[in-house]
Amino acid sequence: MSSPSTFTTTVHPFPSPTAHACAYEIGPQNAKNSLVFVGGLGDGPHTVPYTRSIAKRLEEDPNLSYSVFEFRLKSSYSAFGFARLVDDVADITALVKYLRSIGKERVILMGHSTGCQDCLEYTAPAHGTAPVDGYILQAPVCDRDAIALEMGYDQLDESVKAAKELIDMGRSHERMALTKLPEFMRDTPISAWRWYALVAADGEDNYFSPDLRDEVAASYWKRIDKPLLILFSGNDEFVSNSLDKEGLVNRWRQFCNSGIASELSGTIPGATHKVEDPAAEDWLCNLHDYAFDGITHQLFHPHGSDSLRNQQDEDIMKEVAFDDSLQNRLIEYYNPPLHKVIGQALSIFAKPRQTPLADELILSAAQKTDPAQFTLLSRMQDKVYNMSHLDIAAECLDHTAAGVDTTGDGLCFLMWTLSQPCSFYAQRRLQEELRANPDVSFDKLPYLDAVVLEGLRLFPPIPMSLPRYVPRHGRTIDGFYIPERTIVSSQAFSAHRIDQTVFPQPNLFKPERWFQEQGALDRKRLFFAFANGGRGCIGKHLALAEMKLLLRDVYSRFTTFPDDSMTDEDMEMSDQLISSRPQGKKCLLRFEQIDKNIHG
């Protein structure tokens, strides 16, 4: 999880049964509507970080006009051991009335963990609560089952028996013996009555046990008369792995009155109990490491790099790939007089690239006499080619430089796109194909192929114009005569977008377009990511294999999400004259392991 950062909140003192009550508003103070967050056991204001993420997302759409409120309940923090759900309901009612008094039009209750029990308790007619406009239940776990994961049911039932004995003796407010509690709760005083309510099969807090009889569970859910969203966490650490979370949510939805439970209810894949973010990794660097290792493997295995695991080899990769001097060097090559004028100024911002580490790696590898037979080095060492050691090394260096940025950046843009909400359906469909065909070769998977083609169409790693001389006698192109030796060019970025009869909605990521029979020949003709003809990319098949192998291995096991710190501007294509890379020079993605079942 990312480090805590400062944030701004507006404090609202309000009258409540709990003394000195305050609510903390995150988001625009002039918002018309309110999302009231109710935390779980041990929670209080600001203990669940995702409330700030929700407030940020809501603020991005001013048409929604929502702010988020957190507040202190009688049961907040360590006080839950002597408070009841009815106490929480009284505090929530007081806040809802206050929000209405300051002009809030809509009030939504969002419960997290035991806060979900508060939301269901709030619907009990006996309480006479202030009306709200909807409910969200996130991580509605059964406390009894969650604590049993720590104690085991036998020990748990012994503690329930001990609590019942104290209650029957009129000592319900007496603190439970520490030996009767799980270790993680022993720092909190808990009364016999509260413990029984939490963990007894017939305790008043037991709203979410999968073992509740249908008629009992239905009586709770049918009380809800406002829109409801139920969100289970796919990797909730307080839920048994054997629990069918999706089935339980569907059961609860069926108990609700018609039209109440949202169809969006279900499981959040990979989410923990508090939907905490795993550490994001910078996949821009990782993918370039992968491409560097792949090309050096093909060139001179077993003497290639291992930059994914070896820092020294990664330093070599960065020397080859992460360089800002290309503009300087191209101007020097194509226009020496201009370079003499501005070259010194350019060098302040883009120092000419020096690659001593890469030179050493390749010069050393080129001298090896035992490369694998499939390598380019083995082929070039054949006497029939009569290549010198320096010629071989120069050829290998060219291939290395050509094979890192292209594959690395292409994968980077593609994985970023697959991780976006608008493309999540494509990630899901890709996962389904991969998991349904674990033994099928990577080049026999049609949707994987379509995803790669669409990624290369939308984000060609070399979007620049590729210059060519017009052949002898000239050519007529689209009615225009072009004399011989004229330099003409085409660029993949334009070829993949300009004819919208071939690529309709060209700026959208739509892998399905590659399955349409109509226009298939034109799509193939205009697909220019590797150029075409005798001067086309000789590494095309290696690049496609590398991309498909990595995507297969990732998306058969993981779901990817963009890190919250990333912006759209970070991933704008930055023109490097020949290649392109993300403007922000980073691509932070979060990886979450796929559940046994992929939920839609």
As a whole number of angstroms, the distance between CA 354 and CA 556 comes to: 40
Q: Which backbone phi and psi does 267 adopt, to 5 degrees?
A: -105, 135
- pLDDT of 339 reads 55
As a whole number of angstroms, the distance between CA 59 and CA 53 comes to: 10
- Kindly report the number of other CB atoms within 10 A of residue 247's CB atom: 11
Query: pTM for the complete prediction?
Result: 0.57
As a whole number of angstroms, the distance between CA 121 and CA 554 comes to: 43
Q: CATH number of the domain at 10-142+212-268, please?
A: 3.40.50.1820
- pLDDT of 402 reads 87
- According to DSSP, residue 131 is labeled P
- pLDDT of 585 reads 87
DSSP string, 364-397: HHHT-S---TTSHHHHHTSGGG---HHHHHHHHH
Q: Which backbone phi and psi does 346 adopt, to 5 degrees?
A: -60, -40
Mark the binding-site residues for heme, compressed into ranges: 537
pLDDT in tens, the chain (600 residues): 344 567 889 999 999 999 999 999 999 888 999 999 999 999 999 999 889 889 988 887 878 899 999 999 999 998 999 999 999 999 999 999 999 999 999 999 999 999 999 999 999 999 989 999 999 999 999 999 999 998 999 999 999 999 999 999 999 999 999 999 998 888 899 999 999 999 999 999 999 999 999 999 999 999 999 999 999 988 888 998 889 999 999 999 999 999 999 998 998 877 889 887 666 668 889 999 999 999 999 999 999 999 988 889 988 898 888 765 455 555 555 566 665 655 555 454 445 556 788 889 999 999 999 999 999 999 999 989 899 999 999 999 889 888 898 899 999 999 999 999 899 899 999 999 999 999 999 999 999 999 999 999 999 988 778 888 999 999 998 899 999 999 998 889 999 999 999 999 999 999 999 999 999 999 999 999 998 877 788 899 999 999 999 999 999 999 999 988 898 889 988 876 567 788 888 899 988 887 533 333
- pLDDT of 211 reads 93
Mark the binding-site residues, compressed into ranges: 537
**Alpha helices in 437-565, H assignment, sequence order:** 446-458, 492-495, 520-526, 540-555
As a whole number of angstroms, the distance between CA 324 and CA 478 comes to: 38
Burial of 583 (0-12, 13-18, 19+ CB in 10 A): middle
DSSP string, 23-76: EEEES-TT-SEEEEEE--TT--TT-STHHHHHHHHHHH-TTT-EEEEEE--TT-
As a whole number of angstroms, the distance between CA 385 and CA 405 comes to: 29
Superfamily of 281-455+537-572+583-593 according to CATH: Cytochrome P450 (1.10.630.10)
Please check whether residue 44 is in contact with residue 77, taking contact to mean a CB–CB distance below 8 angstroms: yes
Q: Strand, coil or helix: what is 410?
A: helix
Calculate the alpha carbon distances from 418 to 4, 326, 428, 452, 570 in Å: 28, 30, 9, 11, 16
- pLDDT of 350 reads 47
Peptide bond into 302 cis (omega under 30): yes
Residue ranges covered by each domain of the chain: 10-142+212-268, 145-206, 281-455+537-572+583-593
